[in-house]
Structure 1
Amino acid sequence: MRLSIFGRLVLTYLVIIAVMTGVNVYALLQIRTLAGLNTEVASHHHPEIDSAKRLLASFYEQVQSEKKYVAVPASTFLDHFDGESKEFQVVLQGLFAREASEPETRLLRDVERLQQTHLALFQAQLAEPKGQSAAVDTRFDARRDMLATQITSILQQYIGLHEARIAVGVNASHASSAQAESVTRNLVLVALLFGLGMAAVASYNILHPLRRLQATIQEMGQGNFRASLDGQAPRELRELGDTVKWMGARLQQLDDIKSEFLAHVSHELRTPMASIQEGTHLLLDEIPGPLTQDQRTTLRIMSDSSRRLMNLISTILDLSKMEAGMMEYRFVPTDLRRVADISVNKIRLLADAKQVQLVVEAPVERHWVRADSTRIEQVLDNLLSNALKYSSEGAVVKLQMTPRREEGVLYVDVSDSGPGIPAEEVPHIFERFYQGRTKTRHASVGSGLGLALARKVVEAHGGRIWVDSEVGKGTTVRFILCLTKPGMLV
């Protein structure tokens, strides 16, 4: 099922939103991981270190109270010693309850054992009779100091383990943070590029059919009413394309009706016009009787007008046949120089009357082309007549033929030095009845069918015709035909 434009846009937006949501979820998970590492450091390791330091402080307080009591056996010092011992046990048991790792637990057990040894040593000291020897006191102090040193060393190891774990956690947090930042940055970049790519694809899927539809409408504007929108397109554009196709079919139908009408009218006018022309010739030949000078002038005007009208009717009929594909051509090897000389001789009197010089530039040797000589003569007649019509007095009209053996074609140029054709009019000059806005003082009114007929004939010969023109410098109409050899069957 083809998606509509709205559906394609919604799908594109949903995909982009899904990608961005994935990037945000990943970033949130990384933030949660970092928060967990920080929580572990803040809620576990730091309290353990503080408790270990509290144990050290409590043990030093015990030692101080013990020394004071030994020196001055007051009950206050003994009570203070007992309170610190109990506080030491409470803090130590709290560490046991919170500690889960084996190395730290083992160190705490060693601390507990040494603490108990210290308490037993102090109790033994209390049980000794007063006035004991100095050697006994010295041994007690030495053992007490050794126990203090061991407890202090073990608690320092315990603190060092937790500080090492904090350092590892901080390093892991930094590494995880750097990795998360890098991955998030790359994901954002990929998501951005993916979003731009999706937007480009969606735009292309919409704009490409629009451009094809625009080209189809332009083809219809140039007369190709059978052009249609082919290929895949969103539903709305396909419906619009179907409407344009229906419009083209309707325009083609109207164009066929118009062509049929013109052909029918032209055919019906041909017989009476032939009768009028023949009657005018009979009068000019004074068959019915002698003519005055004014009557002869009037009849000549009538004869020229009827001849032009007959030519116009013949041109319309020929165009109608060509467009209907009913025109028959006799393609034979043709000496184009001979055909060109015939066309030039036809308009030489008119050129002399306007004081326009006709110049033919062609190679001395003959060049044969695959052509219907009658139709090519008709093309040259139209091109030379147009060049003469738009040339001022004293100008030059040039007919040039240039063979190109390596390409197998013959170039034929008809040039004038008239006013030229504006660039915006050049694409339309081969359209039927198009005469443009360029007029000259001496130019006669034409039908606008000569160039349309010339294009049909040249294209039927497998050639190509085009115009090179510059305003104020003149116009060159150029067409090409395929070279052949005399006597060759084509």
Structure 2
Amino acid sequence: MSIRGRFLLWYLILLGVFYVTVGTLFLQLHQAGRATDRVVNIRYRIHSLCGKLLEELLSMEENEKKYRILKKQEYVELFRGSRDSFLEALQELDLVHGELGENGRWGQIREGFQVIFARGLGHQESSGDGGSWFPEDVARDLMSKITEARAENQRKVESELRQLQASSRVAQRWGLVGLLGSAMAGIVGLVLLTYSVTRPLEALKRGIRSVLRAGQVEPVAVSSKDELGEVARAFNEMAGRLRQEERMRSDFIAMLSHEIRTPLTSIAESVNLVEEEVAGSINERQRRLLRIAREEMGRVTELLTQLMKVSRMEAGKVELRPRPVEPARLVAACLRRAEPLAEPAGVRLRAKVTPHLPQVMADEGQLQQVILNLLGNAIKFSPSGGEVVVRVEPEGDGPGVRFSVEDRGPGIPQEEHSMVFQKYYRIAGGPGAQEGMGLGLSISRHIVEAHGGIMGLESRPGQGSCFYFTVPRAR
């Protein structure tokens, strides 16, 4: 799936979780709204109607008493008005309970007491006796029933409020679950998307850095079929072509070095014979020219030797004869060999070796070449009157011994640190920038890595450089 498709899928998942959460909350709120409507509207109406029934009962009782005392017809009308209001409230209560799906007991009470009211008033008007229109025991019984119904309604209000509260808690939980689900889906999706994008990017970055640091072009293991996979496949194709070209170049250099070495040996031998006057006497000017030719042939021979050595090392053919070596003795021998190069340049050589260092397991000749390469570079880039220090100390937390060569030259910019160990690379600037072919550090790195150590650089412009390498201790 492409990166765009993965982002779209992640977006749809988040959208789905969001809408499910919103839909669930909507249903919960709808149910809570219905419960609230029952409590606020219907139950409140029942409560109000029960209160009205009690008021009308008291009004009927009061109007009957006033009529008994004052014998005024207006109290009869007031009694009848209260009675009609009472019956209307009973009828409305019956309808409200019907909406709730409860029994119609209010309708039965209304019908029964409607007959009682009619009989009471009709009997009084026709007979003129002092009988009660609305018997007190009936009124008390009715008031008791209304009060009981009112209390029952209050209990139902409290019960429905508890249910509403429980529904609110459920809605809160669902909202929290939806929020956490959305957050988790977002985080998990983001982590997976980030991993799916950064993993091939890291592989590509390692491949590019391997080219920059070591000049080795290795394929990257990216199996995705998205845009990054296409970039990785293009990089691997480029890496394959570069490796093929590098092999062809190495083979060509090895062949050229071998083919040139034979005639070069013949030329050197001929120069020696002429210089020894085998073919006749020569003057001083001719001898000087022959000496220059011999020196240049020596330089070319050394260059061919280095080229062939690099080719063998890149093919993994580093021949080592490791044995226990004393670090202090090794450094002293290297300083003696480098002294003829340092003295004409006005550079002092100094060693700082930590006492009682353990022996290292190394090929002494190969290790001397590494130190001499570093000393030669340090001397070339050091100003006259400068100092080059060779330090030997424990690796620290590592199991080996650390060798370092420090100078006070112009330093190396940070952006060039990853390239100085590549073959043919020469550092820009400095008094010795244009000397050599840029093979010494590449050869040194191969030798150190063949010993199982590492080689690195610490340098800042204007503050000199420190090249270091580690070698394992002898067991």
TM interval, short-chain normalised: 0.7 to 0.9
- Give 1:408-487 correspondences, 5 Å limit: 409-440=400-431, 445-484=435-474
1:428 CA drift (Å): 1.8
- Equivalent residue number for residue 121 of structure 1: 120
Deviation at 1:459, TM superposition (A): 1.6
The structure 2 residue matched to 1:370, chosen from 338, 361, 365, is: 361
- 1:302 to partner: Cα distance: 2.1
- Is the 8 Å Cα contact of residues 66 and 78 (structure 1) preserved in structure 2? no
Tell me which residue corresponds to 1:224: 216
The corresponding residue for 1:133 is none
The 2-side partners of 1:267 and 1:206 are apart by 49
- Structure 2 partner of 1:488: none
Which whole-Å CA distance do the structure 1 matches of 2:104 and 2:448 have between them?
105
Are the aligned partners of 1:408 and 1:483 in contact in 2 as well (CA < 8 Å)?
yes
Per-residue CA distance 1:416-460 (angstroms, 9 max, x = gap): 3322222322222111011111322x6661111011111111222
CA distance, structure 2, for counterparts of residue 341 and residue 170 of structure 1? 95
State the partner residue of 1:29. Answer: 27
342 and 78 in structure 1: CA distance in 2 versus 1, 3 angstrom threshold: closer
Asked whether the 8 Å contact 2:395–2:470 carries over to 1, the reply is no
Within-5 A mapping of 1:43-442: 44-49=42-47, 52=50, 60=59, 64=63, 92-93=90-91, 95-96=93-94, 98-99=96-97, 105-106=104-105, 109-110=108-109, 112-128=111-127, 137=130, 140-141=131-132, 144-170=135-161, 172-174=163-165, 176-177=167-168, 179-181=170-172, 183-185=174-176, 187-222=178-213, 223-230=215-222, 233-334=224-325, 340=331, 343-360=334-351, 369-402=360-393, 409-440=400-431
Aligned partner letter, 1:413? S
- Find the aligned partners of 1:289 and 1:58 in 2 and give their Cα distance: 156
Deviations 1:178-212 (A, max 9, x none): 55346424532442343233223222222222222
User: Aligned partners of 1:99 and 1:361: how far apart in 2?
Assistant: 104
Distance 1:301 1:330, change over 3 A: same
Quickly say closer, same or farther: Cα 1:87–1:461, change in 2 above 3 A. Answer: closer
Give the match's secondary structure for 2:414.
Answer: coil
TM-score, normalization by structure 2: 0.82
Cα gap change, 1:285 to 1:378, in 2 (>3 Å): farther
**TM-score, with length taken from structure 1:** 0.80
Count the aligned residue pairs.
472
Q: 1:13 to 1:97 in 2, by over 3 A?
A: same
Q: Which amino acid letter does the alignment assign opposite residue 35 of structure 1?
A: G
CA distance, structure 1, for counterparts of residue 66 and residue 372 of structure 2? 138
Alignment partner of 1:424: what SS? helix
Distance in 2, Cα, partners of 1:417 & 1:156: 106
Please say which structure displays the higher CA radius of gyration.
1
Which residue does 1:15 correspond to in 2?
13
Deviation at 1:343, TM superposition (A): 4.3
CA–CA distance in structure 2, aligned partners of residues 468 and 86 of structure 1: 107
1:235 Cα offset (Å) = 3.6
Q: Is the 8 A contact 2:455 2:470 kept in 1?
A: yes
CA-to-aligned-CA distance 1:387-440 (integer Å, 9 cap, x gap): 222223233334444478997644433333322222322222111011111322
Letter in 2 for 1:20: F
> What's the secondary structure of 1:270's corresponding residue?
helix
Larger mean CA deviation between 51-60 and 187-196 belongs to 51-60
Native 8 Å contact 1:104 1:161 kept in 2: no
Following the alignment from structure 1 to structure 2, what is the Cα–Cα distance between the partners of residues 278 and 192? Answer: 83
SS at match of 2:423: coil
Letter in structure 1 aligned against 2:25:
A
- CA deviation after TM superposition for structure 1 residue 141, in Å: 4.4
- 2:320/2:363 contact within 8 Å kept: yes
Q: Which secondary structure state, in structure 1, belongs to the residue aligned with residue 418 of structure 2?
A: helix
CA contact (8 A) 2:448 2:454 kept: yes
Report the Cα distance in structure 2 between the residues aligned to 1:332 and 1:66, rounded to whole angstroms: 132
Residue 218 of structure 2 aligns with an amino acid whose one-letter code is R
1:233-284 Cα offsets, whole Å, 9 max, x none, are 4543333322221111111001111111111122222122223333333333
Q: Distance in 2 between the 1:294 and 1:470 partners? A: 47
For 1:365 and 1:167, the matched residues in 2 are separated by 90
1:52 and 1:43 mapped to 2: Cα distance? 14
Deviations 1:131-170 (A, max 9, x none): xxxxx63xx2496455445444543444444355345434
Give unpaired runs (5+ residues) of structure 1: 131-135, 486-490
**Residues 91, 362 of structure 1: CA spacing in aligned structure 2 closer, same or farther, 3 A cutoff?**
closer
- SS of the residue corresponding to residue 427 of structure 1 reads coil
Cα distance between partner residues in 1 of 2:164 and 2:399: 80
Aligned-residue CA RMSD (Å): 4.0
Separation in 1, partners of 2:76, 2:399: 128
What is the identity, as a one-letter code, of the residue corresponding to 2:19? T
Given that residues 337 and 367 in structure 1 are in contact (C-alpha distance below 8 angstroms), is that contact kept between their aligned partners in structure 2?
A: no
Distance change in 2, residues 1:281/1:203 (3 Å): same
Change over 3 Å in CA distance of 1:484–1:70 after alignment to 2: closer
